[in-house]
Every structure is written in structure tokens, then in C-alpha cells.
Amino acid sequence: MIYLVYVLSFPSAASGSGCFHVRTAKTLPMANISVNLNFFYSREKYLNRYRYTDMRGYSVYHHYATSKIGITYGIIDYIEAFLGTTVYGKYDEQTEVGEDIPTNDLYLVGDKNFYGGLKFWVPLINTPELLVKWNIGGEISGKRSVFDIQDEDTMFIREFSPTFPTWGVLEGRLLTDVEIGPLLIHLSGGYRRNFDNKGLPFPANMEAIQSLPPDVQMRLIEYWSSFYDPPYTNALVWGVATEILLGPYASFILEGSGVYLPYRFLDMAPANYPAGVDTSIGTVGIRFITPVGVTFDFSVDWLFTHKDFVGDWYFTGVSRLPREKEWEEIPSGAEVENYYNLLGRWRYHFGITTTNPLIPEPEEPPKGEIAVSVRDAHTDLPLVAQVTVKKEGEVIEALPTDEAGNLLLSLAPGIYKISISKEGYITRKFTVTVKKGASVNLPVSLKKKTIPTGIVAVKVTDSKTGNPVMANITFSDPEISPITTDVNGEANIKLKPGSYELTITAEGYHPKTVPVSVKQGASIPLPVVLEPATTAKGIFTGTVTDVRTGKPVGAKITFLGTNLKPIVSDLETGIFKVELPPGTYQVKVEADGYQPKAIPVVIKEGETTIQYIKLAEKLTKKKRIVLQGINFDPGKAVIKPMYYPILDRVAEVLKENPNVKVEIQGHTDSVGPEDYNLRLSQARAEAVRQYLISKGISPDRLIAKGYGEMMPIADNRTREGRAKNRRIEFVVIEE
């Protein structure tokens, strides 16, 4: 489970998938359910209040907390529903003014409202190669109070702003997400409709309000404007969030959200008073994600506009001292109303969420077994063969038998098509019914294919006497064993249809290489005349190197069809040198771990012949070739021309091993999101595969697969280790 943020969307503080206050377009997957519990806390510190004549205790702090408890459910992959409730608490903390006068703290807890809604989304852009995603969605939500909070809000007497009941609010929003690698941007905007409100805790009669002194009227106006979430009017709502993934288990979130009231809410307000009362909240926080689907949120809110999370209706005078004074005590003789405290603009948040699938993964059905045994129909010896299992046309398994020719398949009950194949043998197919708990034996005998051939009738004679010469014959194909003519210089050779080069050598004669084309069922006469050898010699020299790495190879060099002793190239330099009689030789070069190579070499009298011989590695099953010299531009999978020679040499190795099938593996370091690294490594492995195909390698022999950062070969915490982990590997999966 890597980068859960990409796989699941986690609920916001008010349920529904999102960040803290800003909901995202993306929803929970189908049949997933989230339960979230969020706590918000703010307080306001008050300066000494010398305004009571009864010498009772005065307030030091107003504490205000809310808790949102909700659930979110993914109805289908693109629609979710959410439901929750908001609980609030107020606490008026007082201090003593004398030893005989106790404090008179007061607190209140209540339920503010119930809320719920539906959200949907659709993906517009999803390009793994560019690591860009764009989603859009919409949301309809509403909230309503169940209890008449206002009548029970006794904290109003302690100058707390009242908690208003919500008797009908409907809200619609448009949502969009943009994902660019580890960066996620969320935008939302919409309209809030307030259908009804049962009144404010001040007289609703405007004449009664206007009968109050002007300074009290202004205090009421500002009091009504002091709420950060106005309950009494329609409004435009907005939100924007930036989310940065810090790894598989954490993300950093920066939010802005708010409410805009597009008209003046009181006709009695002065003409220069704002037309609407805006609210803008800035939020910064971090989200921790666990592999078991539990998240922990920590954030801090700040009110940018002239409002307060902890409303206080007494201290709402328009006169304010500079902010640097906000923490000071009141100087002797100063006006209390001239001091304003900013502590109430801060709010602290902690949330915990658990997300789990409601429907468990289906249990795997009970299985049956098929015991496959493959043998040669003629020799009865076991064969290593490929067993392919299909069900309803889809390949279920494709596995080889072991050295004993056996393979045990464990399959769910059903009807399967099974084919047994091996190169050079006729493929056999079977239909097998597997039953629960039952075992089926499937013994298979494979017959070899009949290989069509032609015959080359060789006759070797002396060029001067015409007498037959007993000679050795070697072939350009190193897989064909050399043969020797009889005393009459004759040999009948069976060969598959195709073109060959035959090198005929005999002691005391110059070697001779002749081409021949073989057709099925045809007998081709091939007279060969050899020239007697002279005593003057030439020099044959050169190097033997690895075709892919260019490193020297210590190889055995044999002159086929002659009595010449083999020579060996130097292990450290790869250089070889030998004197040879003039003539044409069929030279075989072989070394441990490399494909043998046969080449014709012409030696001329008194001259030096130089050959640079390159051997290809012999690719065996599970053989691994690591390429660390190929670098890509960040975030791209385009091979630079400077790396073509490296891949050209790999293509040569594959051409020298025509029967192998390889997996091209892309690997990265651990820098960046794992999901991103996985897609990038897949794209790069595919780019290498396409290049090799362009060089003549069959697509059927190449499989591209990206592993991202899952298979490091070095420590990702060091620069050198990360460089080693960024690599392309070739692994032989079939010989």
C-alpha cells in the first residue's frame, strides 16, 4: 500500500472527502466507509474588566470548542454520501478579585446542527506518462439544527457571542482537483442559501434598536458582523487548498477558505460601512497516513478578516490600538474599549479518521490439482516443456515443468484448455475439468517434429593431380558438428533448407570456403579442389572482447578441420597472435559464459590479418544484465542518442542468443512518490523495448516491466546508492 492519498480520499473535518475545510472532487471508492472525529479549539484572553460594582470575579479567558463527528460512504466509485453532527462547548474562565470572593466559572455544551450531503466526480485527464490528473465534481449539502440552541445559550450573559440555530441551509459547490506528481491543488466555489432563521438574541424590531443610544447601535452592528460564519444571510462560499505529498505516510496542506456576503445586512448601517461581511480563513497543517487506513490531522486556522472565533459582544468598539499592544495589560486610567485582543483569531484542530472497505475481499474458492508429466515419446526421457493454461480464452498460467518433466497446477474448479509445447516437438492440447479438492493426472508424450532436409554431396580433390583428398569440413553455423570425408574425398551431408558456408581443410593444402544453398529434398553436388600449401606463412592477430562491455575475454581459438593447435587470447588484454600457412580457415572462438563464434579468415603469404572478435554473453535463465549508464531527463522516458551504442550492443547480444526471452526491468531510486516512480520506470522500460525492436529483435522476445523503487541494490540514503538504483536490467525468463 504505497501513497494511500492516490488510492483513497480521506474525509475533511466536516465529512466528505477533502483536506481540512476544503472538500476535494475525488470521492471514496465504492463500498468504503470512513468515520471521522475532529476537534476545534480557540480562546480569547481578556484584559482586566473594572466595570462591575458588585466586586464579583471577572473573566480571564473565553474558551470555545467544537467537535464534528461524521461518516462518509462510497456508494459507487464516483459518488459518496456523508452525514454528521456538530457539538459545541463554551467555557467562561474567571479569576478571583479577593480572598473572600470565589470565582464563578460557567460552561455550556450543546449540539449545534446535523449536516449531510452527496458528492460526485469524474476524471477528465489521466496521463501516467506525464503524471498529470484533472478531476471535476460537484456537491450538494445541507444542515439543520434539531434543538433550539438560542433559547438555551446562557453564556450570552457572559458576553459570549450567541450560538445560532440553523433551521434550513442548502449549499451547492463545484469542485476540481489537479494532481501533478506529488503536488495536488483543490478548488471549490458555490452558493449558500439560508431558508429560515428564528431570530437573533437582540430585539428584531428595528424601532427598538434605533431607540438605543448611537454608540450602542454601532456596537450591535459590529457585534452582528463579528461572527466568522454568519448564520443570518445567503452567501457565496469558496475554498482553495494545496497539498504536497511528503512521502507514503504524510502530506503538507495549505488552505484558504471563506464566505462572501454580497449585500449590506442592516439598512441602519452607515453608508461607508462594508456592503458585505467577508470571512477569510487561512489554514496550515499536516496529515499523517497509516498503512491500516487511519489518518491523523493537525492544523491551525487564522482569521484574516475583522472577526473572531470566540465572539464577544461587549468588546466590539471600532476604536483599536496597534497590534503590538494586544498582549499588554491596561495602563492605569486607560479606556478598556480601546484595546483589542487578537488571540481569538487563532483556532487549533486535531482530527482522526479511519477508512476501511465495508465489503471484504471475496475468499478464494477451493481448488483442485492437475499433475502434469511430460516425456519424450521415443526415448521416454523427461522433458522440460512449457505448460500454458487457458480459461475462456484467457491465459491463467504459463509455467515450465521441472527437470523431471513434472508440474503441479493448483486451479479453481472449472474447465481449462491446456497446451504442452517444446521447441522441436509437436505441441499437444488437452481439455481438463478441475473439481473441488480433486487431483487429475495428465501424462503427456511429445513427438519430435520431422525436419525436412536436403543433401550436399561433397567431393574433394587435389588441384594438381586430381586425386581424392581426405579432408575436414566445418560449417558457418557453429551448432553443426564438423565432419570428415572418406578416403575417396566424399561426404553426403544432410542439412536443413537454407544457405551455408563450408570450409574444407586438409593437411598440406590451403583451406577453402565455398557457399552452398540447400533445398528441401534436393541433392546438390559440391566438387571442391584444394591447392597444395606453400611454406611461406602469414600472421593472424587481433583481440577478443565482450560485445556489450568491451572488456577483454580470454578465449580459445580453434582452426577447424586442421591439425593446428588451438591458441588462447590473453585474459587481461584479449590479444592473440599466431603464424599460419596461407589459405582460408574456419576459425572457432569460444569462452566460458559466451556464445561460440565461427568466422572465415583468409591468410595471405607474408601479410598480417587482423580480426577484432566480439563475443556475446551466453544468456541462461535468470541471467541478469544491469545497465547503469543510461540516464533519462527528469520525468521523461525518451532515450538520448548518446546512449544508442549501449543498447546497440545489447541488441547484438540478443541476436547471438536467438532463442531467449528477456524481461526488461526499469528501476528507480526512492526520490519522489512511489506510484510516480512505478509509472516512470514502466515507461522507460517500454522505451528500451521499442528501441530493441527497431534493431530487429522480435517483440515476442521482449517484455517491459517497471518496478519503481521496490528492488533497490544499494542504500537509497546516499547519492551513490541512489545512482546505482537508477538502472535498466535485462533478466532472461525463457531459453
What mean pLDDT do residues 200-217 have?
52
Q: How far is CA 23 from CA 67, 234, 311, 417, 445, in A?
A: 18, 20, 26, 50, 65
Scored b (16 or more CB within 10 A) or e, 21-46 reads: bbbbbbbbbbebbbbbebbbbbbbbb
Instruction: Return the C-alpha torsion angle 333, 334, 337, 339, nearest 10.
Output: -140
Does residue 228 register a pLDDT over 60? no
User: Cα separation of 200 and 285, whole Å?
Assistant: 34
pLDDT of residue 73: 94
pLDDT band at 441 (very low <50, low <70, confident <90, very high): very high
Q: Would you say 653 and 702 are in contact if contact means Cβ atoms under 8 Å apart? A: no
**Beta-carbon count within 10 A of 202 CB:** 15
Task: Give the residue from 407, 17, 56 showing the smallest Cα distance to 184.
Answer: 17
- Sign of the Cα pseudo-torsion (90, 96, 100, 101, in order): negative
Decide: 566 and 558 in contact? Cβ < 8 Å.
yes
Q: What tens digit of pLDDT does each residue of 111-126 get? A: 888 999 999 999 998 8
Determine the 3-state secondary structure of 669 from DSSP: coil
Least confidently predicted of 78-82, 90-94, 269-273: 269-273
Q: Is the pLDDT of residue 12 over 70?
A: yes
Structural domains of the chain, ranges and CATH numbers in brackets: 4-357 (2.40.160.40), 368-446 (2.60.40.10), 454-530 (2.60.40.1120), 538-615 (2.60.40.1120), 624-734 (3.30.1330.60)
CB-CB neighbours of 57 under 10 Å: 19
Give the tens place of pLDDT for each residue, 377-434: 989 999 999 999 999 888 989 999 999 999 999 998 999 999 999 988 999 999 999 9
Residue 560 near residue 502 (C-beta atoms within 8 A): no
- Helix axis angle for 644-656 and 674-694, nearest 10°, is 60
Helix (H) / strand (E) element for 419: namely strand 414-421
Q: Would you tell me how many other CB atoms lie within 10 Å of the CB of residue 77?
A: 14
Given a contact cutoff of 8 angstroms between Cβ atoms, the answer to whether 703 and 663 are in contact is yes
* Sheet containing strand 523-530, strands side by side: 490-495, 454-462, 523-530
pLDDT value at position 322? 35
| Cβ atoms within 10 Å, residue 193 | 12
pLDDT band at 297 (very low <50, low <70, confident <90, very high): very high
pLDDT of residue 269: 46
Max distance between CA atoms of the chain, in angstroms, equals 146
| 347, 42 Cβ separation under 8 angstroms | yes
pLDDT band at residue 556 under the 50/70/90 scheme: very high
Query: In angstroms, rounded to a whole number, what is the distance separating the alpha carbons of residues 139 and 80?
Result: 10
Tell me: the pLDDT tens digits for 453-506?
889 999 999 988 889 999 999 998 888 889 999 999 999 998 888 899 999 999
346 pLDDT higher than 60: yes
Cβ burial of 285 (10 Å; 0-12, 13-18, 19+) is buried
Tell me the average pLDDT across 6-32.
80
Per-residue pLDDT at 359 exceeds 90: no
Please provide residue 469's backbone torsions phi and psi, each rounded to the nearest 5 degrees: -125, 130
Instruction: Please check the confidence at residue 184 and state whether its pLDDT lies above 80.
Output: yes
What's the mean pLDDT in 681-698?
92
Q: Find the range with the poorest average confidence among 76-85, 196-205, 370-379, 689-698.
A: 196-205
- Residue 596 in contact with residue 478, Cβ under 8 Å? yes
Residues 617, 545 contacting (CB under 8 angstroms) = no
- DSSP character string of 668-701: --SSS-HHHHHHHHHHHHHHHHHHHHHTT--GGG
Candidates 696, 709, 700, 692; CA nearest to 734 is 700
Which pTM was predicted?
0.49
B/e letters for 691-711, b = 16+ CB within 10 Å, e = fewer, are bbeeeebeeebbbbebbbbee
pLDDT band at 254, cuts 50/70/90? very high
Torsion angle, CA of 48/51/52/58, rounded to 10 degrees?
-20
Residue 637 CA to residue 666 CA, distance in Å, equals: 11
pLDDT confidence tier of residue 50, bands split at 50, 70 and 90: very low
Contact 384, 422 (CB under 8 A): yes
Q: Please report the sign of the dihedral spanned by the C-alpha atoms of residue 6, residue 10, residue 13, residue 16.
A: positive
Is residue 145 very low, low, confident or very high in pLDDT (cuts 50, 70, 90)? Answer: confident
- In whole angstroms, give the CA distance from residue 325 to residue 336: 13
Query: What SS3 state is found at 72?
Result: strand
Give residue 155's pLDDT: 66
pLDDT of residue 199: 44
What does the alpha-carbon distance between residue 505 and residue 484 come to, in Å, rounded to a whole number? 10
How is the beta sheet containing 575-580 ordered, strand by strand? 575-580, 538-546, 608-615
Rounded Cα–Cα distance for residues 529 and 438 (Å): 69
Rounded to an integer, the average pLDDT of 512-523 is 89
pLDDT confidence of residue 236: 86
Predicted local distance difference test score (pLDDT) of residue 551:
93
**39's grid cell:** 476537534
Higher per-residue pLDDT: 203 or 177: 177
Q: How far apart, in whole angstroms, are the C-alpha atoms of residue 119 and residue 139?
A: 4
pLDDT of residue 334: 44
Q: Sheet holding 583-590: strands in order across?
A: 567-568, 556-560, 583-590, 597-603
Among 283-297, 394-408, 488-502, 613-627, which is the least confidently predicted range? 613-627
pLDDT of res. 388 = 94
The secondary structure of 277-340 as a DSSP string is: --EEEEEEEEEEE-TTSEEEEEEEEEE-SS-BSS-BSSS--S----GGGTTSPPPTT--GGG--
Most confident of 57-66, 127-136, 146-155, 218-227: 127-136
**Confidence class for position 217, pLDDT limits 50, 70, 90:** low
Query: What pLDDT is recorded for position 84?
Result: 93
In angstroms, the CA 299 to CA 286 distance is 6
pLDDT band for position 220 (cuts 50, 70, 90)? low
Task: Kindly compute the dihedral angle of the four CA atoms of residues 176, 178, 184, 187, in this order, to the nearest 10 degrees.
Answer: -30
Quick one: which H or E segment has residue 636? none
Q: What percent of the chain has pLDDT over 70?
A: 80
Reading the block at residue 575, the C-alpha cell is 590479444
Task: Express as a percent the part of the chain with pLDDT over 90.
Answer: 44
Alpha helices of 161-245 — where are they, by DSSP H?
A: 206-210, 214-224
